[in-house]
Amino acid sequence: MEATERSQLRRLPDRGSHESEVIHKILDDGFLAHVGFQVQGQPFVTPTLYGRDGDTLYLHGSAASRMLRELDTGMPACVTVTLVDGLVLARSAFNHSMNYRSVMAFGTAKKIADAAEKTRALHVVSVHVLKGRWKDVRGPTEQELKATAVLRFAIEEASAKVRQGPPLDNEEDYSLPVWAGVLPLKLVSQEPIPDPRMVEGVEEPEYVRNRSDRA
């Protein structure tokens, strides 16, 4: 993608990228976005699940959601996805950092009216969040589709920022007897908790037991 004034990487451009491949990979490794929009001079940042199809992100929620209603007016929005990879512990306070991968995507969103298209978009989100789940569950009824707002967020511009690797200290600090390195962090699945009201004899699906750990 091309960099404009809006998406230009200001700080540490060596950490940044406008390559679609890098951007798509980060968006696919995450599932939680923070969506920024402004209403009457006040910015809001709302966490939400999403799915990706090409340069489109699908956001969904209640038809009564303020965020989705506001975004549907066509106002400019920013969707940011951040994956935390670790704390970077340097020898000096100043050089402490975080290893992470993030994408900041700019664009506008529009509600999907067509029921079939809406269902397809919800399928994209479901597959994105937990692959394998959709085929096992009862699909949405007409009434449920009406109560759900699904937005197509078209990415107009985006940039990625990535920091990896060990701390970078001032040359004279390397001789200090301070523990330095990276404390990796990872969002990991824990032991599944079956619903107490589940009917007997239902097997735990493979995608629940072996969800690939993603941020």
Question: Which residues 68-127 are close enough to bind a copy of itself by CB under 8 A?
Answer: 76-80, 82, 84, 86-87, 89-94, 96, 98, 100, 102, 104, 106, 122, 126
Stretch in the footprint of a copy of itself (CB under 8 A) among 15-23, 50-58, 109-117, 135-143: 135-143
Q: Tell me the CB-side half-sphere exposure of residue 25, using CA atoms within 13 A.
A: 10
H/E run at residue 31: none
Q: Which of 15, 24, 25, 34 is in the footprint of a copy of itself by CB under 8 A?
A: 34
Q: Which stretch binds a copy of itself (CB under 8 A): 15-23, 38-46, 51-59, 109-117?
A: 38-46
Q: How far apart are CA 110 and CA 102, in angstroms?
A: 24
CA 15 to chain CA centroid, Å, is 19
- Both tokens of 57, joined, read 């992100």
> Per CB under 8 A, which region of 10-18, 20-28, 50-58, 109-117 contacts a copy of itself?
10-18
User: Which of 2, 21, 197, 212: binder of a copy of itself (CB under 8 A)?
Assistant: 197
Q: Which of 25, 56, 111, 134 binds a copy of itself (CB under 8 A)?
A: 134
* The binder of a copy of itself chosen from 35, 57, 112, 124 (CB under 8 A): 35
Minimum CB distance to a copy of itself, residue 56 (Å): 18
Range 146-165, binding a copy of itself (CB under 8 A): 147-148
- Direct distance between the N- and C-terminal alpha carbons of the chain, in angstroms, rounded to an integer: 24
Tell me how far CA of residue 141 lies from CA of 19, 61, 138, 146, in angstroms: 39, 15, 9, 9
Among 105, 69, 67, 100, which residue's Cα sits nearest to residue 86?
100
Among 13, 74, 114, 139, binds a copy of itself (CB under 8 A): 139
Query: Taking the complex as a whole, how short is the minimal distance between the CB of residue 24 and a copy of itself, in angstroms?
Result: 19
- Among residues 56 and 92, whose Cβ is nearest to a copy of itself? 92
Q: Which of 19, 45, 73, 164 binds a copy of itself (CB under 8 A)?
A: 45
Does residue 212 bind a copy of itself (CB under 8 A)?
no
Compute φ and ψ for 85, nearest 5 degrees.
Answer: -110, -20
Task: Kindly tell me the burial class for residue 130, based on how many C-beta atoms sit within 10 Å of its own C-beta (0-12, 13-18, 19 or more).
Answer: middle
| C-beta separation of 62 from 145 below 8 A | no
